[in-house]
């Protein structure tokens, strides 16, 4: 049981505090919305049915339909609103449940239970209507104050929902930003900084989810691309030109890739293209395209006799085998080209 303070009212509800006349004080006194004057209490209690409650005993539950209002004679009652409004602890000469009385069969917006031994007066609709005929002026003032309190409560509820909606929007914006940052971080982790291609880590992630992107009408092929004499390029032209060469080779590998293919830089001067092809001939054409594209590259500020070339080796990938087997077979084809002087392509039969 949550007790969130005694007799406290919200800022909106405080605005509903009205001045009501009593016969025992100055002509006008200030009361909290749920507090009854002596005259009001005596009148309402006289028409109600007395009921005694023990601590924890339920008066009504949230969502329950009712047609009665309750006036507290002694003890305290906890009103629970399930998060829409703060729970309230009310005591002697206060009332609750009035909306069901005013408008008829109404689903309760909250629950009520005895917080301690207490005595209530239960005022049914028929009894209330009789009181209206007997003391219309007193009950008119009571109903006016009650409606002001209900309107203030609804305004507070609307304000709470508005704040909650604003908080939700801010939370969603934060989640989107976090998601964007996570996507960016993941992309950076899986992307080679120099060429923008997928790196080895990204390749392994791709292999884990490759089944979702496989075209089962095509075969899987792997090309390994290795720059020829890259150390000489760095020594003769400098590392800045070396980086430019790596970016240019990466662009050629990217250009040779289809939408379902994965071009990547495995590290250093070694690249790979995991591709989906119809047959070995198509894989060989991809390999020749990469080799010819690199062969035509030229770079400003380099010695006239500096030529860039690559060795490309490849093979079709057997579905029952894994990455290590695919790599080993493509690597054998690559070293066949390297052993022949480089600047060429070879795809295993």
Strand partners, 112: 60, 79
> Rounded to whole angstroms, how far apart are CA atoms 315 and 292?
19
pLDDT reported for residue 183? 73
Q: Is the CB of residue 239 less than 8 Å from the CB of residue 232?
A: no
pLDDT reported for residue 290? 97
Q: Is the CB of residue 124 less than 8 Å from the CB of residue 68?
A: yes
pLDDT reported for residue 59? 95
pLDDT reported for residue 12? 42
pLDDT reported for residue 252? 97
Element (H, E) at 264: strand 262-267
User: Average pLDDT per run of 10 along the chain, which is 349 residues long?
Assistant: 41 41 41 81 94 95 89 95 78 90 80 95 91 89 83 75 80 80 73 93 88 82 96 90 95 93 95 95 96 93 86 94 94 95 93
HSE-CB at 220 with a 13 A cutoff on CA atoms is: 18
Architecture of domain 11-156 in CATH?
Sandwich (2.60)
Helix (H, G, I), strand (E, B) or coil at 56: coil
pLDDT reported for residue 106? 74
pLDDT reported for residue 19? 39
Which residues 6+ apart lie within 8 Å of 220 measured at CB? 214, 274, 275, 276, 277, 316, 317, 319, 326
pLDDT reported for residue 83? 63
Q: Is the CB of residue 4 less than 8 Å from the CB of residue 90?
A: no
CATH topology of domain 200-347: Alpha-Beta Plaits (3.30.70)
Q: Could you state, in order of their start, the residue ranges of all structural domains in the chain?
A: 11-156, 200-347
pTM of the model: 0.52
Helix (H, G, I), strand (E, B) or coil at 314: strand
């Amino acid at each position: 049981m949550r007790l969130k303070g005694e007799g406290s009212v919200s800022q909106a509800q405080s605005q509903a505090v009205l001045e009501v006349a009593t016969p025992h004080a100055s002509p006008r006194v200030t009361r909290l919305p749920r507090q009854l004057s002596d005259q009001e209490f005596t009148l309402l209690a006289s028409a109600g049915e007395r009921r005694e409650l023990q601590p924890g005993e339920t008066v009504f539950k949230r969502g329950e339909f009712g047609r009665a209002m309750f006036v507290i004679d002694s003890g305290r009652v906890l009103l629970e609103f399930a998060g829409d409004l703060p729970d309230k602890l009310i005591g002697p000469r206060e009332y609750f449940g009035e909306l069901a009385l005013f408008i008829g069969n109404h689903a309760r917006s909250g629950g009520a239970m005895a917080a301690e031994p207490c005595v209530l007066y239960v005022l049914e609709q028929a009894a209330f209507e009789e009181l209206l005929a007997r003391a219309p002026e007193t009950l008119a003032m009571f109903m006016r104050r009650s409606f002001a309190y209900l309107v203030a409560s609804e305004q507070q509820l609307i304000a709470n929902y508005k704040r909650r909606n604003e908080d939700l929007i801010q939370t969603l914006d934060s989640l989107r930003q976090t998601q964007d940052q996570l996507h960016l971080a993941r992309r950076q982790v899986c992307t080679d900084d120099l060429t923008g291609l997928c790196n080895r880590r990204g390749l392994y992630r791709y292999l884990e989810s490759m089944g979702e992107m496989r075209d089962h009408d095509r075969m899987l092929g792997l090309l390994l691309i290795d720059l020829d004499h890259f150390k000489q390029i760095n020594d003769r032209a400098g590392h800045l030109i070396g980086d430019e060469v790596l970016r240019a080779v990466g662009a050629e590998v990217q250009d040779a890739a289809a939408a379902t293919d994965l071009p990547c830089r495995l590290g250093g001067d070694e690249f790979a293209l995991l591709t989906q092809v119809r047959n070995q001939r198509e894989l060989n054409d991809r390999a020749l395209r990469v080799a010819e594209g690199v062969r035509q590259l030229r770079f400003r500020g380099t010695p006239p006799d500096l030529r860039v070339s690559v060795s490309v080796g490849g093979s079709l990938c057997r579905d029952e085998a894994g990455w290590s087997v695919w790599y080993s077979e493509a690597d054998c084809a690559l070293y066949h080209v390297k052993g022949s002087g480089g600047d060429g392509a070879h795809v295993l039969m």
